[in-house]
Amino acid sequence: MMCLAPLPCIHLVTRDAAASGRVVLLASGLHFGLRVWRDADSLLSELDPDSTGAVLLELAGAGSELALLDRLGSLGVDLPVIVLSRDATVDLCRQAFKAGAREFLPLPAAEDSLPEVLRKAVGQHVLERQRLQRSRHARSLYTRLSEREREVLGLVVAGLTNKEIARALAVSPRTVEVHRARLAGKLETDSLAQLVRQYADLVDEDARRPDLVCGQAWAAPLAILARRPA
C-alpha cells in the first residue's frame, strides 16, 4: 500500500518480508499507510523527512540494524522507531533504547500489543509535528513585530494592565489599546490566554538577548508590580 499525504505512514524495515507476515497484517489493519523496506538504505532513499508516522525496525540477530536510528537523527527525521526482535535479550533491549528507540517488542510474544503501540506512537508523532508547526508559525509572526510592539507584548505577557503599560512606556492608555489590537491581528490571537500561551517563551528569549535596546521597558513590570498595593 502506498502512503498518500497527509496520511501517517508506517515503515516496516525487515530482511525477510515473508517471515513478517503477521506484523504486516497487524500494521495494515490500522488505517495508516504501510510500506515494507528490505533495508535501511532503501527506506532512506525515498523517505520524506516531513512525513508523519512510525518506523518498525525488525532486528536480525545482533542488532546491527540499530545504526538506522543514528542515520535518521543525522537527517533530521523524527519518526518514532519501534524495534522488533525474534531473538530478544536484555542486552539487545538496552542497546535499542540507548540508540533512541521509542519501544522494544520481543516477537512473537508481544505481537498482540503491536497495534496499540503503533497507534500511540503515531498519534504522539502527529501531535508533536502539529505543535512544532504552530511554534514555527508563531515565531514567524513574532519576527514581524516592531520594537515597540514587542515591548508592549512583553508587558502584556508580564500581566500588566493597560494603565500600567501606559505608565511604563510613557504613553496614553488609548495608545496601548491600539498596540494591543494590532498585536492581536498580527499574531493571529483572539484572547489573552492564547497570546500568553503562544508567545510567552518568545518574549523570554527576546528579554535574554544581549543586543536588546529596550532594557528599561523590560525592567518596568517588576518595578510597577512592586508598587502595587497588597
Q: DSSP for 43-61?
A: HHHH--TT--EEEEEEE-S
Is the pLDDT confidence value at 185 over 70? yes
CATH number for region 9-138? 3.40.50.2300
Per the model's pLDDT, the better-predicted residue between 214 and 89 turns out to be 89
pLDDT value for 1: 42
Omega of the bond prior to 6 within 30 degrees of 0, cis? yes
DSSP classification of residue 35: E
Statement: residue 117 has pLDDT above 70: yes
> In this predicted model, which residue has the larger pLDDT, 212 or 185?
185
Please give the grid coordinates belonging to residue 167: 505608565
Rounded Cα gap, residues 204 and 47, in angstroms: 36
Share of the chain above pLDDT 70, in %: 88
* Architecture of the 144-227 domain: Orthogonal Bundle (1.10)
Q: What is the pTM of this model?
A: 0.69
The chain-wide mean pLDDT, for the chain, equals: 86
Confidence of residue 6 (pLDDT cuts 50, 70, 90): low
Note the pLDDT of residue 210.
54
> Could you tell me the residue ranges of all domains in the chain?
9-138, 144-227
Average pLDDT over residues 110-138: 93
pLDDT at 211 (0 to 100): 52
Higher-scoring residue by pLDDT: 217, 98: 98
What CA–CA distance (Å, rounded) separates 183 from 177?
10
